[in-house]
Chain A
């Protein structure tokens, strides 16, 4: 039975269980809701929960485990001598899966009966032709070993699915019966529902945490792999970034310093643009603007925040770069060689971050209680004195947090750098020279034909790891600052 049917049946069972559980509890109290321990809907919900939760858990585990188990069994049943010259067991298994899928399709389209599919022999039929006729393309001729394995695979799958249906529906029915039996006026149905809700929430939280841990672990392992192939001193202290393009390694110089410098330089320019402008805009909007002005300007700034960064990248490449070039280039001051430069990317990234800084700071400034402003104004302070000496200090921890968040965004930004700053890794102080950043280099190391086991590709993980540690450090610093000021002010 296909999975969606199983799901639908369980859901229908849950709905029936809800209605029946509710009625049974009501009946046991003689129809008097006050005699029940919980509200009637809790009794219904507890039956529905018992029907659904365990059966779906079994279903999910089964769906994950079955392919793994079957794969192992089939692979184990292929004799080693059947593996062709120049091929591997892994490649053969993917052939097996493809043939099995093809046979499934042939059966479902009516081109073969299921007996045919189970008994077909490569000795008598050209399987590749027959499957080709119904639109399943296979790379090579199907040998007898592969075909037999594919049929074995299908048979196991069919049995597995049958058992799965029986077990899942059985669990659902058992839960249904058990919960319905307990549905009695003295049963504490509300506590059951509350506990279930708590576990569902815990489940969601742990999925978020576990995936994060998974990502970090994969970063760590791949980084360790990279440092086995490439000396870490050369990575952290090397001042040249020159990966060889053969993809075979050996002659690459993978120094991290020029990339870090590019990242920091561009981020610094971006912050120098976005922090003052964003902060002043926020102060204007929250302290000076009339409600009408505010209701018009705030959404407008938030629209800016919704522009995809690739659009900012285009803007850098096509507008800001040429503009800067016409002023600082050979026609003007002669400091700039081409439109792509640290300055171009920094300015555009700064513009991108303005709405980010301003809307966060605006919220934070608005959160300062009006009573603070009244207190200051009541002592005869002017508006700007009040803002400078009372509102901003009170909002400072939040503002610092906003700035550090903006910094970690600047450090992680990629598209604007790729289009605006160029691809040359360079160590230079001139902001009108092309440079590149960690993120842009990760992209260029992994795009194109690279062997994922070579240091040239693995370096991407080391770069990602370092970037992760830097932004993590920034976030921790932000938290620390916020806490420290909290203690002082609250």
Chain B
């Protein structure tokens, strides 16, 4: 059973389903500093709705940093400072009027390191829906939890122990639990920071299936170190290097005919 919010969201999206893809997120001249280090410089990028965008680049180049800008998670780091303009649906998210709490409900995130709460598996998934009042009854909530766990490709493994602590799961199971937790709140934008880094090929395939399914309605950004994965799931790819956005374009173009030498070298494994 679907919740009110989802129904509304689907109705809205359904109307524009076949229209041209519009810009969901636009970043202009974004700079991020951690204290004195300039971690991200001059990033200009437009992310389209109902599209999977992959961020690739060597370790430490600022992929996670940029991802965290998009739902203002950098606010929680004391030394971090963000400059420039980031708009979602035409609204500047760093505006004083914007409530970061509402923003984060709309822009969900799967973190690089799995971080299940020290609660039961059920409560981990139900956490977001409860906070946002997405369920009208206990049965409603049960359904949301089951649906989210199924989408996270972990339902079969945990359906008999929903009351066991989420922190007792294996690393890969925790990662899928966190994916399920993020989709349970039905965000419009989903930011996934290396969601398959600890997963076996079967679970990876299921998560990629999920990403493909979610693409129908949502905007997805995925950070990955696997070139094959980027090529498989994304339509657009952004290549970062040393805090700069090197190249951004159609995944096909980037992987077959990149215009930058650094991109070519990275994709073919010559550095990074």
Give A residues with C-beta under 8 Å from B: 291, 369-382, 385, 389-390, 393-394, 488-490
* Complex: A478 Cα to B263 Cα, angstroms: 58
Contacts of B104 in A (CB 8 A): 377-380
- Given A373-B76, A490-B167, A380 and B119 contact (CB-CB distance below 8 Å): no
| Shortest distance from the beta carbon of B140 to any chain A beta carbon, whole Å | 18
* Complex: A377 Cα to B102 Cα, angstroms: 10
* Complex: A393 Cα to B165 Cα, angstroms: 13
Comparing B3-11, B127-135, B206-214, the segment that makes contact with chain A is B127-135
Comparing B15-23, B37-45, B110-118, B194-202, the segment that makes contact with chain A is B110-118
B187 closest partner in A (C-beta)? A380
| Shortest distance from the beta carbon of B121 to any chain A beta carbon, whole Å | 13
**B101 within 8 Å of A by Cβ?**
yes
A379 closest partner in B (C-beta)? B128
**B109 within 8 Å of A by Cβ?**
yes
| Shortest distance from the beta carbon of A293 to any chain B beta carbon, whole Å | 12
**B105 within 8 Å of A by Cβ?**
yes
Query: Taking each of A370, A376, A380, A488, which has the highest tally of chain B beta carbons within 10 Å of its own beta carbon?
Result: A380
* Complex: A251 Cα to B119 Cα, angstroms: 60
**A-B complex: 4 closest residue pairs judged by Cβ atoms:** A380-B105, A489-B118, A371-B115, A379-B128
The reply to whether A291 and B117 contact each other, CB–CB distance below 8 Å, is no
Contacts of B111 in A (CB 8 A): 371, 374-375, 378
* Complex: A209 Cα to B257 Cα, angstroms: 74
Contacts of B128 in A (CB 8 A): 379-381
A380 closest partner in B (C-beta)? B105
The reply to whether A380 and B115 contact each other, CB–CB distance below 8 Å, is no
Cβ 8 A contact of B115, one of A369, A381, A389, A488: A369
Contacts of B102 in A (CB 8 A): 380
Cβ 8 A contact of B117, one of A375, A380, A488: A375
Contacts of A385 in B (CB 8 A): 131
**B178 within 8 Å of A by Cβ?**
yes
* Complex: A283 Cα to B247 Cα, angstroms: 45
Contacts of A376 in B (CB 8 A): 117, 127
* Complex: A490 Cα to B119 Cα, angstroms: 10
| Shortest distance from the beta carbon of A367 to any chain B beta carbon, whole Å | 12
Contacts of A389 in B (CB 8 A): 127, 131
* Complex: A52 Cα to B190 Cα, angstroms: 69
List B residues 16-32 near A (Cβ within 8 Å). none
Contacts of A374 in B (CB 8 A): 73, 76, 111, 115
The reply to whether A379 and B167 contact each other, CB–CB distance below 8 Å, is no
The reply to whether B71 and A378 contact each other, CB–CB distance below 8 Å, is yes
Query: Taking each of A291, A375, A378, which has the highest tally of chain B beta carbons within 10 Å of its own beta carbon?
Result: A378
A–B complex contacts, Cβ < 8 Å, 30 sampled: A291-B78, A369-B115, A371-B115, A372-B115, A373-B76, A375-B117, A375-B181, A377-B73, A377-B76, A378-B71, A378-B104, A378-B108, A378-B109, A379-B105, A379-B127, A379-B182, A379-B185, A380-B106, A380-B128, A381-B131, A382-B101, A389-B127, A389-B131, A393-B118, A394-B117, A394-B118, A488-B165, A489-B165, A490-B118, A490-B167
* Complex: A381 Cα to B105 Cα, angstroms: 8
Contacts of B185 in A (CB 8 A): 379-380
| Shortest distance from the beta carbon of A380 to any chain B beta carbon, whole Å | 3
* Complex: A372 Cα to B71 Cα, angstroms: 16
* Complex: A488 Cα to B115 Cα, angstroms: 16
* Complex: A380 Cα to B73 Cα, angstroms: 10
* Complex: A230 Cα to B201 Cα, angstroms: 77
List B residues 139-187 near A (Cβ within 8 Å). 165, 167-168, 178, 181-182, 185
B105 closest partner in A (C-beta)? A380
Contacts of A377 in B (CB 8 A): 73, 76, 101, 104
* Complex: A389 Cα to B118 Cα, angstroms: 10
* Complex: A374 Cα to B102 Cα, angstroms: 15
B168 closest partner in A (C-beta)? A490
A394 closest partner in B (C-beta)? B118
A487 closest partner in B (C-beta)? B165
Query: Taking each of A370, A371, A379, A390, which has the highest tally of chain B beta carbons within 10 Å of its own beta carbon?
Result: A379
The reply to whether A372 and B108 contact each other, CB–CB distance below 8 Å, is no
The reply to whether B132 and A380 contact each other, CB–CB distance below 8 Å, is yes
The reply to whether B118 and A378 contact each other, CB–CB distance below 8 Å, is no
* Complex: A379 Cα to B101 Cα, angstroms: 8
The reply to whether A380 and B76 contact each other, CB–CB distance below 8 Å, is no
Contacts of A490 in B (CB 8 A): 118, 167-168
Contacts of B76 in A (CB 8 A): 370, 373-374, 377
| Shortest distance from the beta carbon of A370 to any chain B beta carbon, whole Å | 7
| Shortest distance from the beta carbon of A385 to any chain B beta carbon, whole Å | 6
Contacts of B131 in A (CB 8 A): 379-381, 385, 389
* Complex: A374 Cα to B193 Cα, angstroms: 13
B112 closest partner in A (C-beta)? A371
* Complex: A370 Cα to B76 Cα, angstroms: 9
